[in-house]
Amino acid sequence: MSALSLVDRSVIEVKVNQENILNVKNLSIYYGSNQAVKNISFEIAKNDVTALIGPSGCGKSTFLRSVNRMNDLIPISRSEGEILYEDINILDSNINVVALRKEIGMVFQKPNPFPKSIYNNITHAIRFSGIRNKSVLDEIVESSLRKAALWDEVKDRLHKSALSLSGGQQQRLCIARTLAMKPSVLLLDEPCSALDPISNAKIEELILDLKHEYSIVIVTHNMHQASRISDRTAFFLNGDLVEYDITEKIFTNPNEKKTEEYISGRFG
Ligand SMILES: Nc1ncnc2c1ncn2[C@@H]1O[C@H](COP(=O)(O)OP(=O)(O)OP(=O)(O)O)[C@@H](O)[C@H]1O
């Protein structure tokens, strides 16, 4: 038996005992009559990095947005099925969406800091929720920026505009802003696609660090990125979940021919 297969087995054994944080059951999502996600079911493990891959338009972002109900903002969107988070169906009409988005935070493709200071970007939502004590806010700002690996770069200019930061720093600020809400799940929609290779590497390093504390779901078009940072990978095609498995398996020995064709660059 090769050393690699021994490693694979131990990885799989650990994962089997892992707790799930999200349980997707028979989920379908429509925009008017267009069904963008087709009756998918899978479980997302706690403290894993789960990558969603697949060609453009296959439903990755639609699925990701449904996990913190961002699709609610699109009037023609509707969904069927369930996404269970701690046994609560996120899609229920009586869910407190504001509270849900604190628990399940989202970072978008393009860094979108507020046109405010670095400090105020972090504290904006927290102050809104009623926390005004300066030393508490200072502590949250420092710990969030440290977790996002940005503190050392900005600690001397917290009151400067966030827009003065580089693209990569802005994206880490957006991650820090999300972390400040103390989420348990982080949804990342192509967070590196607008960034240079060095910023990209920093975000990947950060994701690997954050997964000890958070469960992370990331949409990426970058196959190398998915294989470098994720524990499990879900391959979407035309709204179907074609295959979902341990990342190493998907990238070395997928079950489905379509998965193999996609990851080897034959389409998409
Ligand atoms: N706001 C919207 N209104 C109507 N249809 C939409 C909307 N957003 C997405 N769709 C449709 O849903 C389907 C899935 O799109 P989605 O953006 O989820 O795919 P994706 O896999 O994330 O693509 P990409 O990799 O290009 O971001 C596509 O047919 C798309 O046209």
d(CA 163, CA 170): 7
Report which of 59, 67, 73 is spatially closest to residue 90, judged by C-alpha positions. 67
Q: How far is the CA of 57 from the centre of ligand 1 (A)?
A: 5
If we measure between CA atoms, which residue out of 175, 211, 213, 209 comes closest to residue 191? 175
Q: How confident is the model at residue 3 (pLDDT cuts 50, 70, 90)?
A: very low
Q: Note the ipTM here.
A: 0.98
Q: For the chain, how many helices (H) and strands (E)?
A: 11, 10
Please tell me the residue having the least CA distance from ligand 1 atom 29. 57
pLDDT tier for residue 8 given thresholds of 50, 70 and 90? very low
Alpha carbon of 1 to ligand 1 centroid (Å)? 44
Spacing, Cα 242 to ligand 1 middle (Å): 17
Residues 122/145, Cβ–Cβ less than 8 Å: yes
Between CA 264 and CA 8 the distance in angstroms is 21
**pLDDT tens string 204-220:** 999 999 999 999 999 99
**Nearest atom (ligand 1) to Cα of 61:** 22
- Beta partners for 234? 52, 244
pLDDT of residue 4: 35
* Cβ atoms within 10 Å, residue 128: 9
90, 67 contact by CB (below 8 A): yes
Going from the Cα of 77 to the center of ligand 1, the distance in angstroms, rounded, reads 11
Q: Tell me how far CA of residue 162 lies from CA of 19, 27, 103, in angstroms.
A: 37, 38, 24
CA-nearest residue for atom 30, ligand 1, is 57
Task: Give the Å distance between the CA of 61 and the centre of ligand 1.
Answer: 7
> Per-residue pLDDT tens for 237-262?
999 999 999 999 999 999 999 999 99
In this prediction, residue 13 carries a pLDDT of 45
More confident: 6 or 91 = 91
Query: C-alpha distances in angstroms, 220 versus 24, 116, 141, 198?
Result: 20, 29, 28, 17
Task: From 33, 35, 61, 65, give the residue whose CB has the most ligand 1 atoms within 8 Å, as the site to mutate.
Answer: 61
The interaxial angle of helices 197-210 and 167-179, nearest 10 deg, is 20
Nearest CA to ligand 1 atom 19: 57
Residues with CB under 6 Å of ligand 1 are 31, 34, 36, 54, 56-62, 74
Between CA 48 and CA 148 the distance in angstroms is: 18
Ligand 1 centroid – CA 207 distance (Å): 25
* Mean of pLDDT over the chain: 92
Residue entry with tokens 């008017």: 32
pLDDT recorded at residue 175: 95
**For 159-218, what is each residue's pLDDT tens digit?**
999 999 999 999 999 999 999 999 999 999 999 988 889 989 989 999 999 999 999 999
